[in-house]
Protein backbone atom coordinates (compact mmCIF):
# COMPACT_ATOMS: atom_id res chain seq x y z
CA UNK A 1 0.00 0.00 0.00
CA UNK A 2 1.36 3.43 -0.94
CA UNK A 3 1.82 6.24 1.58
CA UNK A 4 -0.88 8.22 -0.22
CA UNK A 5 -3.41 5.41 0.22
CA UNK A 6 -2.46 5.13 3.88
CA UNK A 7 -2.96 8.89 4.17
CA UNK A 8 -6.48 8.57 2.75
CA UNK A 9 -7.31 5.83 5.27
CA UNK A 10 -6.09 7.87 8.25
CA UNK A 11 -7.89 10.98 6.96
CA UNK A 12 -11.20 9.18 6.36
CA UNK A 13 -11.13 7.58 9.83
CA UNK A 14 -10.41 10.99 11.40
CA UNK A 15 -13.22 12.65 9.45
CA UNK A 16 -15.71 9.91 10.37
CA UNK A 17 -14.81 10.30 14.05
CA UNK A 18 -15.04 14.09 13.91
CA UNK A 19 -18.45 13.74 12.27
CA UNK A 20 -19.80 12.13 15.44
CA UNK A 21 -18.48 14.79 17.81
CA UNK A 22 -21.39 17.25 17.64
CA UNK A 23 -23.69 14.39 18.63
CA UNK A 24 -21.27 13.29 21.37
CA UNK A 25 -21.15 16.84 22.75
CA UNK A 26 -24.94 16.96 23.17
CA UNK A 27 -25.12 13.48 24.72
CA UNK A 28 -22.30 14.38 27.14
CA UNK A 29 -24.02 17.64 28.12
CA UNK A 30 -27.03 15.65 29.28
CA UNK A 31 -24.82 14.10 31.95
CA UNK A 32 -22.36 16.90 32.84
CA UNK A 33 -22.19 20.65 32.33
CA UNK A 34 -19.88 22.25 29.79
CA UNK A 35 -17.09 22.96 32.31
CA UNK A 36 -17.08 19.38 33.61
CA UNK A 37 -17.09 18.07 30.04
CA UNK A 38 -14.06 20.21 29.21
CA UNK A 39 -12.22 19.09 32.35
CA UNK A 40 -12.57 15.36 31.77
CA UNK A 41 -12.18 15.54 27.99
CA UNK A 42 -8.97 17.58 28.22
CA UNK A 43 -7.60 15.23 30.89
CA UNK A 44 -8.30 12.16 28.76
CA UNK A 45 -6.89 13.88 25.67
CA UNK A 46 -3.67 14.80 27.45
CA UNK A 47 -3.21 11.27 28.77
CA UNK A 48 -3.97 9.83 25.34
CA UNK A 49 -1.36 11.97 23.61
CA UNK A 50 1.16 11.15 26.35
CA UNK A 51 0.57 7.42 25.82
CA UNK A 52 0.97 7.85 22.06
CA UNK A 53 4.30 9.67 22.56
CA UNK A 54 5.48 6.95 24.95
CA UNK A 55 4.58 4.33 22.34
CA UNK A 56 6.47 6.31 19.69
CA UNK A 57 9.42 6.67 22.09
CA UNK A 58 9.21 10.45 21.71
CA UNK A 59 8.15 11.39 25.24
CA UNK A 60 11.68 12.29 26.43
CA UNK A 61 12.18 14.53 23.41
CA UNK A 62 9.05 16.44 24.45
CA UNK A 63 10.86 17.74 27.53
CA UNK A 64 13.74 19.22 25.55
CA UNK A 65 12.00 22.51 24.88
CA UNK A 66 13.36 25.96 25.56
CA UNK A 67 11.77 28.37 28.03
CA UNK A 68 10.40 30.37 25.11
CA UNK A 69 8.77 27.23 23.70
CA UNK A 70 7.19 26.36 27.05
CA UNK A 71 5.77 29.88 27.27
CA UNK A 72 4.44 29.55 23.72
CA UNK A 73 2.79 26.24 24.65
CA UNK A 74 1.21 27.85 27.72
CA UNK A 75 -0.26 30.61 25.54
CA UNK A 76 -1.48 28.19 22.88
CA UNK A 77 -2.82 25.82 25.54
CA UNK A 78 -4.85 28.68 27.00
CA UNK A 79 -6.31 29.45 23.58
CA UNK A 80 -6.85 25.79 22.67
CA UNK A 81 -8.04 23.57 24.26
CA UNK A 82 -9.03 25.76 27.24
CA UNK A 83 -10.70 28.91 25.84
CA UNK A 84 -11.77 27.42 22.52
CA UNK A 85 -13.63 24.46 24.01
CA UNK A 86 -14.96 26.48 26.94
CA UNK A 87 -16.70 28.79 24.45
CA UNK A 88 -17.69 26.04 22.01
CA UNK A 89 -19.14 23.68 24.63
CA UNK A 90 -21.09 26.52 26.22
CA UNK A 91 -22.53 27.25 22.77
CA UNK A 92 -23.52 23.59 22.37
CA UNK A 93 -25.24 23.72 25.76
CA UNK A 94 -27.41 26.61 24.51
CA UNK A 95 -28.05 25.66 20.87
CA UNK A 96 -29.27 22.69 18.84
CA UNK A 97 -26.27 20.73 17.54
CA UNK A 98 -27.22 21.49 13.92
CA UNK A 99 -26.81 25.23 14.63
CA UNK A 100 -23.62 25.19 16.71
CA UNK A 101 -21.81 22.84 14.31
CA UNK A 102 -21.82 24.92 11.09
CA UNK A 103 -21.29 28.23 12.91
CA UNK A 104 -18.09 26.80 14.36
CA UNK A 105 -17.17 25.53 10.89
CA UNK A 106 -16.66 29.08 9.57
CA UNK A 107 -13.11 29.23 10.94
CA UNK A 108 -11.35 28.87 7.52
CA UNK A 109 -13.06 32.08 6.40
CA UNK A 110 -12.19 33.81 9.67
CA UNK A 111 -8.61 32.64 9.11
CA UNK A 112 -8.50 34.63 5.88
CA UNK A 113 -9.70 37.79 7.63
CA UNK A 114 -7.21 37.45 10.51
CA UNK A 115 -4.34 36.71 8.11
CA UNK A 116 -4.59 40.27 6.82
CA UNK A 117 -3.48 42.06 10.05
CA UNK A 118 -1.44 39.17 11.54
CA UNK A 119 0.43 37.86 8.48
CA UNK A 120 0.19 41.00 6.35
CA UNK A 121 -1.62 39.18 3.56
CA UNK A 122 -3.69 41.09 1.00
CA UNK A 123 -7.34 40.29 0.35
CA UNK A 124 -8.19 39.32 -3.21
CA UNK A 125 -11.60 39.87 -4.77
CA UNK A 126 -12.25 36.14 -4.57
CA UNK A 127 -11.48 36.19 -0.81
CA UNK A 128 -14.04 38.96 -0.35
CA UNK A 129 -16.67 37.05 -2.33
CA UNK A 130 -15.97 33.92 -0.26
CA UNK A 131 -16.44 35.86 2.98
CA UNK A 132 -19.77 37.32 1.83
CA UNK A 133 -21.09 33.91 0.74
CA UNK A 134 -20.09 32.26 4.01
CA UNK A 135 -21.57 35.16 5.99
CA UNK A 136 -24.89 34.63 4.19
CA UNK A 137 -24.62 30.99 5.25
CA UNK A 138 -24.23 32.06 8.88
CA UNK A 139 -27.31 34.28 8.56
CA UNK A 140 -29.32 31.41 7.07
CA UNK A 141 -28.33 29.02 9.85
CA UNK A 142 -29.16 31.61 12.51
CA UNK A 143 -32.73 31.82 11.18
CA UNK A 144 -33.33 28.25 12.41
CA UNK A 145 -35.94 27.44 9.78
CA UNK A 146 -37.86 30.71 9.93
CA UNK A 147 -36.97 33.11 7.11
CA UNK A 148 -39.71 35.71 7.56
CA UNK A 149 -39.77 35.92 11.35
CA UNK A 150 -36.23 35.69 12.69
CA UNK A 151 -36.28 34.10 16.12
CA UNK A 152 -33.30 32.38 17.65
CA UNK A 153 -33.34 29.98 20.58
CA UNK A 154 -30.25 31.74 21.91
CA UNK A 155 -28.58 34.82 20.45
CA UNK A 156 -25.86 34.41 23.06
CA UNK A 157 -25.28 30.83 21.91
CA UNK A 158 -24.98 31.95 18.29
CA UNK A 159 -22.43 34.61 19.28
CA UNK A 160 -20.43 32.02 21.22
CA UNK A 161 -20.47 29.46 18.38
CA UNK A 162 -19.36 32.09 15.87
CA UNK A 163 -16.72 33.38 18.30
CA UNK A 164 -15.26 29.89 18.64
CA UNK A 165 -14.26 30.05 14.98
CA UNK A 166 -12.33 33.27 15.70
CA UNK A 167 -10.53 31.62 18.62
CA UNK A 168 -9.63 28.55 16.53
CA UNK A 169 -8.39 30.65 13.61
CA UNK A 170 -6.24 32.70 16.01
CA UNK A 171 -4.80 29.51 17.47
CA UNK A 172 -4.07 28.15 13.99
CA UNK A 173 -2.16 31.28 12.95
CA UNK A 174 -0.08 31.34 16.13
CA UNK A 175 0.54 27.60 15.93
CA UNK A 176 1.95 28.02 12.40
CA UNK A 177 4.79 30.08 13.84
CA UNK A 178 5.88 27.21 16.12
CA UNK A 179 8.27 24.93 14.21
CA UNK A 180 8.29 22.06 16.73
CA UNK A 181 7.02 18.57 15.91
CA UNK A 182 3.22 18.61 15.89
CA UNK A 183 2.84 15.76 18.40
CA UNK A 184 5.12 17.57 20.87
CA UNK A 185 3.16 20.79 20.46
CA UNK A 186 -0.07 18.88 21.03
CA UNK A 187 1.35 17.28 24.17
CA UNK A 188 2.26 20.60 25.77
CA UNK A 189 -0.84 22.41 24.51
CA UNK A 190 -3.06 19.84 26.14
CA UNK A 191 -0.94 19.79 29.30
CA UNK A 192 -1.31 23.53 29.80
CA UNK A 193 -4.89 23.47 28.55
CA UNK A 194 -5.76 20.86 31.15
CA UNK A 195 -3.93 22.88 33.83
CA UNK A 196 -6.01 25.98 33.03
CA UNK A 197 -9.16 23.85 32.96
CA UNK A 198 -8.30 22.32 36.35
CA UNK A 199 -7.86 25.75 37.90
CA UNK A 200 -11.08 27.04 36.34
CA UNK A 201 -13.01 23.95 37.46
CA UNK A 202 -11.76 24.38 41.03
CA UNK A 203 -12.72 28.07 41.08
CA UNK A 204 -16.22 27.30 39.78
CA UNK A 205 -16.80 24.21 41.99
CA UNK A 206 -17.06 21.84 39.02
CA UNK A 207 -14.76 19.07 40.21
CA UNK A 208 -17.29 16.25 40.52
CA UNK A 209 -17.30 12.58 39.53
CA UNK A 210 -19.94 12.01 36.82
CA UNK A 211 -22.19 8.98 36.48
CA UNK A 212 -21.09 5.92 34.52
CA UNK A 213 -22.98 7.26 31.49
CA UNK A 214 -21.24 10.60 31.92
CA UNK A 215 -17.80 8.99 32.16
CA UNK A 216 -18.39 7.04 28.94
CA UNK A 217 -19.63 10.16 27.15
CA UNK A 218 -16.77 12.47 28.21
CA UNK A 219 -14.25 9.72 27.49
CA UNK A 220 -15.54 9.46 23.93
CA UNK A 221 -15.17 13.23 23.46
CA UNK A 222 -11.67 13.20 24.95
CA UNK A 223 -10.53 10.32 22.78
CA UNK A 224 -12.22 11.07 19.48
CA UNK A 225 -12.58 14.86 19.34
CA UNK A 226 -9.17 15.77 20.72
CA UNK A 227 -6.72 12.95 21.39
CA UNK A 228 -6.65 10.04 18.95
CA UNK A 229 -8.32 11.87 16.08
CA UNK A 230 -5.83 14.75 16.09
CA UNK A 231 -3.04 12.18 15.88
CA UNK A 232 -4.72 10.34 13.00
CA UNK A 233 -5.12 13.59 11.09
CA UNK A 234 -1.48 14.55 11.66
CA UNK A 235 -0.44 11.12 10.42
CA UNK A 236 -2.53 11.63 7.28
CA UNK A 237 -0.85 14.99 6.68
CA UNK A 238 2.60 13.44 7.11
CA UNK A 239 1.93 10.64 4.59
CA UNK A 240 0.16 12.56 1.85
CA UNK A 241 1.92 13.85 -1.26
CA UNK A 242 0.04 17.14 -1.00
CA UNK A 243 -2.29 18.38 1.74
CA UNK A 244 -4.98 19.39 -0.80
CA UNK A 245 -5.61 15.69 -1.53
CA UNK A 246 -6.91 15.10 1.98
CA UNK A 247 -7.92 18.56 3.21
CA UNK A 248 -10.78 18.64 0.71
CA UNK A 249 -12.20 15.51 2.37
CA UNK A 250 -12.98 17.64 5.44
CA UNK A 251 -15.98 19.12 3.61
CA UNK A 252 -17.72 15.76 4.02
CA UNK A 253 -17.65 16.03 7.81
CA UNK A 254 -20.40 18.62 8.53
CA UNK A 255 -22.87 16.89 6.22
CA UNK A 256 -22.18 13.51 7.85
CA UNK A 257 -22.60 15.23 11.21
CA UNK A 258 -26.14 16.31 10.27
CA UNK A 259 -27.01 12.67 9.59
CA UNK A 260 -25.82 11.62 13.06
CA UNK A 261 -27.54 14.63 14.63
CA UNK A 262 -30.83 13.73 12.99
CA UNK A 263 -30.87 9.97 13.58
CA UNK A 264 -29.17 9.81 17.00
CA UNK A 265 -30.22 13.07 18.66
CA UNK A 266 -33.56 13.18 16.87
CA UNK A 267 -33.22 16.81 15.76
CA UNK A 268 -35.34 17.77 12.75
CA UNK A 269 -32.87 19.41 10.40
CA UNK A 270 -33.98 22.90 9.32
CA UNK A 271 -33.84 23.60 5.62
CA UNK A 272 -32.03 26.82 6.50
CA UNK A 273 -29.31 24.75 8.19
CA UNK A 274 -28.67 22.82 4.97
CA UNK A 275 -28.72 25.99 2.84
CA UNK A 276 -26.46 27.78 5.30
CA UNK A 277 -23.99 24.91 5.48
CA UNK A 278 -23.82 24.70 1.68
CA UNK A 279 -23.11 28.44 1.51
CA UNK A 280 -20.38 28.19 4.17
CA UNK A 281 -18.69 25.27 2.42
CA UNK A 282 -19.01 27.05 -0.93
CA UNK A 283 -17.31 30.09 0.56
CA UNK A 284 -14.49 27.96 1.94
CA UNK A 285 -13.97 26.23 -1.43
CA UNK A 286 -13.87 29.60 -3.23
CA UNK A 287 -11.33 30.86 -0.69
CA UNK A 288 -9.17 27.76 -1.15
CA UNK A 289 -9.11 28.20 -4.93
CA UNK A 290 -8.09 31.84 -4.50
CA UNK A 291 -4.71 30.60 -3.26
CA UNK A 292 -4.09 29.05 -6.65
CA UNK A 293 -5.58 31.72 -8.91
CA UNK A 294 -5.80 35.48 -8.77
CA UNK A 295 -8.35 37.97 -10.03
The full length of the chain comes to 295
Contact (Cβ atoms closer than 8 angstroms) between residue 76 and residue 136: no
Start-end of H helices in 20-83:
21-28, 34-55, 67-77
> What single-letter DSSP state applies at residue 294?
-
Residues near 242 by beta carbon (within 8 Å), at least 6 away in sequence: none
Sign for the pseudo-dihedral over CA of 91, 213, 193, 186: negative
What is the pLDDT at residue 122? Answer: 73
**Phi and psi, residue 293, nearest 5°:** -130, 160
Residues near 270 by beta carbon (within 8 Å), at least 6 away in sequence: 98, 143, 144, 145
What is the pLDDT at residue 295? Answer: 45
Q: What pTM did the predictor assign? A: 0.87
Distances in Å between the Cα of 148 and the Cα atoms of 49, 176, 272 are 48, 43, 12
Q: What is the mean pLDDT of each run of 10 residues along the chain (295 residues)?
A: 86 91 95 96 94 88 90 95 96 92 82 74 76 81 64 78 90 83 88 96 93 93 88 83 72 87 91 86 78 52
Amino acid sequence: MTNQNKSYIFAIIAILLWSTVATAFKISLKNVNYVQLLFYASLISFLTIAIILIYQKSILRSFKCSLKEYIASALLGFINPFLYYLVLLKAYSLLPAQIALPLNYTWPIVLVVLSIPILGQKMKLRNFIAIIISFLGVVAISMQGNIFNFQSSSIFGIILAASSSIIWATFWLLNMKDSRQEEIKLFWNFFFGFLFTLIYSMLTNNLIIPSIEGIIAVSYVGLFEMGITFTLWLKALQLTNTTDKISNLVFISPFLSLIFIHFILGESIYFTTIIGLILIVAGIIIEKTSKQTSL
